Amino acid sequence: MTDTVAIALAVLGAAIGLGFGYLLAKLALARKREREAVSAEDTVALARIEAQKILAKAEDEGRAKAETYREKEEAALDHRKVEAANMESRLTQREETLEQRASNLAQREKLLIDREDEVTTTRGDLERLKEEARNQLEKLAGIDVAAAKSELLEQVEDEARRDAMILVRDMEVKAREEADRRARRILATTIQRLAGEVVTETTVSVIELPSDEMKGRIIGREGRNIRHLESVTGTSLIVDDTPEAVSVSSFDPVRREVARLTVERLVADGRIHPASIEESYEKAKDEVELSIRDAGEWALVEVGVSRMHPELITLMGRLKYRTSYGQNVLNHLVETANIASMLASELGVDPVPIKRAALLHDIGKAVTHEVEGSHALIGAEIARRFEEDPAVVHGIEAHHNEVEPRTVLAVIVQAADAVSAARPGARRETLEGYVKRLERLESIALEFDGVEEVFALQAGREVRVVVDPGNVTDLAARELSRQIARKLEEDLQYPGQIQVTVIREFRATDFAR
């Protein structure tokens, strides 16, 4: 209230000051007028009256403004007092609420402490009862806890191992079935596109003669011609009772071919003596060498491989006169390359390097009589010497597992080689070798414990093993088939694959009397 009065007085003073200022201005004007006019007194009187009016008006306005400002300030102060009262009321309510919550929390804390004490007491009672029950169980069972735990762990371990073996077996069966299904589809698609020849090669070449009189000319006086012919060609000539025919025998197919062409030239010429034999031999040798180069070029064109070292082409052409189990090796290379290309296409792999590796995989057979060692490793060394791609070299050296296959290329070359060698009519085998191989198959399987009988079926493509059901369980039979298969892989060389089937049959028999 005091501040309001002071402000009003200040406003009033300011108004009075303004009035006095205005009055002084009027007075100055009046004085000027007094100097300028004759009736100065009248002017001063008028000015004084005007100044009084202005002063009175200013005083009234100041009082009105001061009163208005005072009223506004009093209203604002009353409003603030009301707000302060409301805020104090709300604070009081909040304090009461906080006190109530603190009281509730204190009660809950007390309840929790009481329950914790109860739980601790109950836990102690349970431990005591558990210990008493354990002691009673040990007395009744006659075995302590450690031994029981060990026995239980052993049982759980055995069950877990059995479950794991069953799970592994099921997973292997499913994986094998899926792999077999896909492999059969791919191989079937590939084999359907394959058109191969049936083997007809032998180690003896038969030459037809125009008459039996020619046999005498070939033999010559006291056998001079035939001895010289065998010495020059390095082969054996068989002149037997076969009418109008003579045979050339040699395990070296190139020599046998040169000798055959030499004899045919001599027979066609009719003049047979040492000089003509040597002349015919040289011409036949040149013809065979040309044929070898042509055969190598033919293989490249047939498969679709280009830019190969000339020495490799010559070595590959020599395989035209080489056979393996009666199968022509050069034809086998071409066939394997085509099969590998088809397999790669079915699997979505680049067929170019795979086809090249398959075409060269048996190149070592061209020099095996000159260099000791496996033809796969020899062929890989030859390819490496002529700067073939390392992937191609690995496919050559791994196709008979002398080196573990590490690439898809090597695996496809293996599969293509097996398909070409194992297809019907691809190879022939002597009866003695066939019987020995089957006997070896059966003897290897009989070496394992629990095996009672072994039967080799389907020309050695399948081995069925009958085991004693008392010594071999179902899971052990699964493991036994795997072990026999690994043993066959280690000890035998065979084309294709061998299926090992273990048969376990349990029979219970009793008699009713």
Q: Is the per-residue pLDDT at 188 higher than 80?
A: no
Phi, psi of 414 (to 5 degrees): -60, -50
What is the distance between the alpha carbons of residues 337 and 356, in angstroms, rounded to a whole number?
Answer: 7
Half-sphere exposure in the Cβ direction for 35 (13 Å, CA): 5
Q: According to CATH, what is the number of the domain 204-422?
A: 1.10.3210
- Axis crossing angle, helix 408-422 with helix 351-360, rounded to the nearest 10: 50
pLDDT, residue 201, reads 45
By the 10 Å C-beta count (0-12 exposed, 13-18 middle, 19+ buried), 281 is classed as: buried
How many other C-beta atoms can be found within 10 angstroms of the C-beta atom of residue 308?
18
What is the distance between the alpha carbons of residues 208 and 214, in angstroms, rounded to a whole number?
Answer: 10
pLDDT, residue 425, reads 53
Q: Is the per-residue pLDDT at 200 higher than 50?
A: no
Contacts of 12 (CB under 8 A, 6+ apart): 59, 62, 63, 66
How many other C-beta atoms can be found within 10 angstroms of the C-beta atom of residue 454?
20
How many other C-beta atoms can be found within 10 angstroms of the C-beta atom of residue 415?
21
For residues 314 and 172, the model is more confident at 314
What is the distance between the alpha carbons of residues 411 and 4, in angstroms, rounded to a whole number?
Answer: 109
Q: Is the per-residue pLDDT at 376 higher than 70?
A: yes
pLDDT, residue 199, reads 42
Reported as a pLDDT band with limits 50, 70 and 90, residue 432 is: low
What is the distance between the alpha carbons of residues 16 and 8, in angstroms, rounded to a whole number?
Answer: 12
Reported as a pLDDT band with limits 50, 70 and 90, residue 70 is: confident
> In this predicted structure, which of 54-58, 256-260, 367-371 has the lowest mean pLDDT?
367-371
Q: Is the per-residue pLDDT at 240 higher than 60?
A: yes
Which regions of 183-230 does DSSP assign to beta strands (E)? 204-208
- Assign 453 to helix, strand or coil: strand
What's the average model confidence in pLDDT over 424-446?
Answer: 69
Asked if 6 contacts 49 with a C-beta cutoff of 8 angstroms, the reply is: no
- Axis crossing angle, helix 253-269 with helix 274-303, rounded to the nearest 10: 130
What is the distance between the alpha carbons of residues 379 and 361, in angstroms, rounded to a whole number?
Answer: 7
What's the average model confidence in pLDDT over 182-203?
Answer: 54
Question: What CATH number matches the domain at 434-504, 3.40.50.2300, 3.30.450.40, 3.30.300.20, 3.40.50.300?
Answer: 3.30.300.20
- Could you report the per-residue pLDDT of 73-104, keeping only the tens digit for each? 888 888 888 888 889 888 988 888 888 888 88
DSSP readout, 359-423?
A: HHTTGGGGSTTTS-S-HHHHHHHHHHHTT--HHHHHHHHTTTSSS---SHHHHHHHHHHHHHHHS
Structure tokens at 168: 């592994």
Distances (CA, A) of 302 to 81, 237, 295: 113, 35, 10
Q: Is the per-residue pLDDT at 176 higher than 80?
A: no
Residue 463 has what DSSP assignment? E
